[in-house]
A and B are shown apart, each in its own frame.
Chain A
């Protein structure tokens, strides 16, 4: 590569740098001072951010597909085999990095937000034990996530996939002395396993079908094989991959781990469980869009699941009282939005929302963390309130984020969410997608409601903080507030890069984001591609319905905010009464639809029962009858053989010995064991020999 593409050429450094520091931390970190740890880790992440930015910049000058691909080494040279279709394919998985606009955006988001969160962690984790361990895990996560998004084939992507799962496990269980944390970590890991199994099966099916797993070859392979629209194999692949996505991105039915994952430190929740890892599923679906394009059924499933998850999680978020759990449910529902976008083939919208969501959700978490920090560990919003003036920076940034997620123009959330809703509305067949649009719109309202419920309960109203905590409430250190501000700015302006054409054209911006991602999701020669992508459906002269929808969603958001204000700021007793009258609903939501209990009853306890049954089988049958029984038999037989040995075999031996002894006794008298008698004997021998010699000689 020429110097012009320096960053593109060295894109492999982006994941490598955090890996190196992670290795240092986990090997010798114990001996380093906190300052050195912060310097190394944050520095490495910053360096990889710089490289990502550089790569992104240089990619804009790239002529277009094929996209720069850097293969480090041949990883799994598995050799040739016959695909399902029967033609010969050569399966190789190399350790290579592919940098196309999609992954460029992703690494930019990941490394940027990751860098800010690292900076934040310096202040937040400053007083915690295991500082080096925390940062080691964080950097390891950065490595895994960047590998995930930069991978040029499904297998390497899966490596990153598992890596982020591992790091999420390690970091959720960071306070491993607390049982709940350890359990949460295990839960996350196990639930993810289910999804990963789906992903893995998807990969296998892909290999067996298309004979390749390189993203750059997937689309050509698909089109070369000439699958018609809705080919069952592709549908199967899409669904399997989507199972993996649900696991990682906490969609129905595999979402239960995410709320518990809030046991981890807040920066972890912000980085892993809000900004980056949980969005891996979305990224994965988008990455495989060329398959989904030909599998409308899979797409519809994705859309339905996404929409339902959005509504469902939002409804649960309405009544939660733990500040981080509320954010977790909102994360789930936002992820639902993204999948809805993918489901309506508005991939760019999905990625766009992913990006903006990364900004404001990370900001929300960090701000929440700052609140918790200020209240020295308090997480229950019922014991907060009236923090507005006490921690102004946190409050302001939190409000910005809340507005952004609620979708108030011109903040980031508005554009992305509105894009999704519009794409959903304008998707055929109309009635079905109109219904999905309705769900999305309601969810938008609920989102605004619970976000501002949270906002009011936390910052406004009368203080319910215990006095002893009250005394030392303090604004967080600079290292924490600066990332807050930066993220706030991002969540304001972040959306402008993707203004819908309807507005952008008038401002002369156009939907830059969509155009940038265009080449990734449109494939030359793809049948029905033109019909599928929502981009083309947007007519040149903008449909007035689009503006109407914008208005509706904004009104929804405002309504939600107004309701929250009414209930939680003006007339608290009204909320009480509401909860009282609709007690069953309240309880149902509060207990999260009893899904955890359901899963416990269905899977967990059954598994435990299976285990105990097997244990019983082991101890009773195998040990009891098998081992002990055989031991008993052995004892019996050995008794017999002892008798036999003693009386028959030894008897014979002794008999022989006796006989030999009897006959050898006289000879034994000769064997005195005294050297001198032997010497005497051979002197005697000499004497006799000489005597014989003399007789012969003198004859």
Chain B
């Protein structure tokens, strides 16, 4: 029989990969994707524990997380488009106009 630990470890793995992506990639869009990945890992965790505890609250939180993810994606991509119109680059470390 399948233990909750499996799912937790899976979500941990996805989370780690996502964080690495966020920290190391230069392409903003891929960074956003990695963030989705992280949120997804969190969802796995939530659902796993909702199954573990036999309550749907976890799934409801997952739904909220997905909502937040949708909003975040829309806004983030909108920002990217707007930015791309002004400076044709998608590299995060070139978006440093606020520094000096």
Smallest CB separation, B91 vs chain A (Å): 10
Determine the distance from Cα of A680 to Cα of B99 in the docked complex, in whole angstroms.
Answer: 18
Q: A683-B19, A683-B23 are in contact. Are A676 and B93 (CB under 8 A)?
A: yes
Determine the distance from Cα of A680 to Cα of B92 in the docked complex, in whole angstroms.
Answer: 14
Query: Which positions 1-46 of chain B face chain A at CB distance < 8 Å?
Result: 19, 22-24, 31
Determine the distance from Cα of A671 to Cα of B99 in the docked complex, in whole angstroms.
Answer: 8
A675 — nearest CB in chain B belongs to which residue?
Answer: B92
Q: A676 touches which one: B92, B99, B100 (CB < 8 A)?
A: B92
Determine the distance from Cα of A683 to Cα of B22 in the docked complex, in whole angstroms.
Answer: 11
Instruction: Say yes or no for A679: interface residue by CB 8 A criterion.
Output: yes
Determine the distance from Cα of A683 to Cα of B18 in the docked complex, in whole angstroms.
Answer: 13
Query: Which positions 667-698 of chain A face chain B at CB distance < 8 Å?
Result: 671-676, 679-680, 683
Hey, which chain B residues are within 8 Å of A675, CB to CB? Answer: 92, 95
Determine the distance from Cα of A680 to Cα of B23 in the docked complex, in whole angstroms.
Answer: 6
Hey, which chain A residues are within 8 Å of B95, CB to CB? Answer: 675
Hey, which chain B residues are within 8 Å of A672, CB to CB? Answer: 96, 99
Instruction: Say yes or no for B98: interface residue by CB 8 A criterion.
Output: yes
Q: B22 near A679 (CB under 8 angstroms)?
A: yes
Instruction: Please tell me the size bucket of the interface on A.
Output: under 10
Determine the distance from Cα of A8 to Cα of B11 in the docked complex, in whole angstroms.
Answer: 105
Hey, which chain B residues are within 8 Å of A676, CB to CB? Answer: 22-24, 31, 92-93
Smallest CB separation, A689 vs chain B (Å): 16
Q: B23 near A679 (CB under 8 angstroms)?
A: yes
Hey, which chain A residues are within 8 Å of B98, CB to CB? Answer: 673
Q: A674 touches which one: B19, B96, B100 (CB < 8 A)?
A: B96
Determine the distance from Cα of A672 to Cα of B98 in the docked complex, in whole angstroms.
Answer: 10
Query: Which positions 80-96 of chain B face chain A at CB distance < 8 Å?
Result: 92-93, 95-96
Interface string of A347-368 (1 = CB under 8 A from B): 0000000000000000000000
Hey, which chain B residues are within 8 Å of A680, CB to CB? Answer: 23
Hey, which chain A residues are within 8 Å of B93, CB to CB? Answer: 674, 676
Smallest CB separation, B100 vs chain A (Å): 8
A680 — nearest CB in chain B belongs to which residue?
Answer: B23
Hey, which chain A residues are within 8 Å of B24, CB to CB? Answer: 676
Hey, which chain A residues are within 8 Å of B92, CB to CB? Answer: 674-676
A671 — nearest CB in chain B belongs to which residue?
Answer: B99
Determine the distance from Cα of A395 to Cα of B68 in the docked complex, in whole angstroms.
Answer: 105
Q: B19 near A673 (CB under 8 angstroms)?
A: no
Smallest CB separation, B93 vs chain A (Å): 5
Determine the distance from Cα of A675 to Cα of B94 in the docked complex, in whole angstroms.
Answer: 10
Determine the distance from Cα of A676 to Cα of B27 in the docked complex, in whole angstroms.
Answer: 11
Determine the distance from Cα of A679 to Cα of B34 in the docked complex, in whole angstroms.
Answer: 13
Hey, which chain B residues are within 8 Å of A683, CB to CB? Answer: 19, 23
Query: Which positions 51-79 of chain B face chain A at CB distance < 8 Å?
Result: none
Hey, which chain A residues are within 8 Å of B100, CB to CB? Answer: 673
Hey, which chain B residues are within 8 Å of A679, CB to CB? Answer: 22-23
B20 — nearest CB in chain A belongs to which residue?
Answer: A683
Smallest CB separation, B85 vs chain A (Å): 20
Determine the distance from Cα of A680 to Cα of B31 in the docked complex, in whole angstroms.
Answer: 13
B94 — nearest CB in chain A belongs to which residue?
Answer: A674
B28 — nearest CB in chain A belongs to which residue?
Answer: A675
Determine the distance from Cα of A673 to Cα of B100 in the docked complex, in whole angstroms.
Answer: 9
Q: A673 near B96 (CB under 8 angstroms)?
A: yes
Sample of 17 more A-B contacts, CB < 8 Å, known A672-B99, A674-B93, A683-B23: A671-B99, A672-B96, A673-B96, A673-B98, A673-B99, A673-B100, A674-B92, A674-B96, A675-B95, A676-B22, A676-B23, A676-B24, A676-B31, A676-B92, A676-B93, A679-B22, A679-B23
Residue pairs across A and B with Cβ atoms less than 8 A apart, 6 shown, are A671-B99, A672-B99, A673-B98, A674-B92, A679-B22, A683-B23
5 closest Cβ contacts across the A-B interface? A673-B99, A673-B96, A674-B93, A680-B23, A676-B23
